[in-house]
């Protein structure tokens, strides 16, 4: 698992994957979170609350890259 973390850090440093991502629902900065349901073990996530409703948005770290 540590190898995947190092790979993600390297890909980010080289500009091959995004350093950040904005939530398409609330337009706030999403957080990079570990997950077990993705091959690369990482995804962008947002669980903010707007108008007393919590939303859950998830985006692959590969979206918009040559890896997508």
| Average pLDDT for the chain | 85
Q: What is the token pair recorded at 18? A: 């995004």
Looking at per-residue pLDDT, the higher value among 2 and 48 belongs to 48
Asked if residue 9 has pLDDT above 80, the reply is yes
Q: Which of 32, 66, 26 is nearest to 48 (CA)?
A: 26
Grade residue 34 by pLDDT with cuts at 50, 70 and 90: confident
Any idea where the domains of the chain sit in the sequence? Answer: 2-60
The proportion of the chain whose per-residue pLDDT surpasses 70, expressed as a percent, equals 94
pLDDT tens readout for residues 38-47 = 666 889 999 9
Asked if residue 14 has pLDDT above 60, the reply is yes
């Amino acid at each position: 698992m540590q190898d995947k973390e190092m790979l993600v850090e390297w890909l980010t440093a080289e500009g091959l994957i995004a350093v950040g991502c904005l939530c398409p629902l609330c337009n706030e900065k999403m957080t990079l979170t570990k997950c077990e349901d993705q091959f690369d073990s990482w995804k962008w996530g947002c669980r903010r609350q707007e108008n007393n409703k919590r939303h859950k948005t998830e985006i692959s770290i590969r979206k918009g890259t040559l890896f997508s």
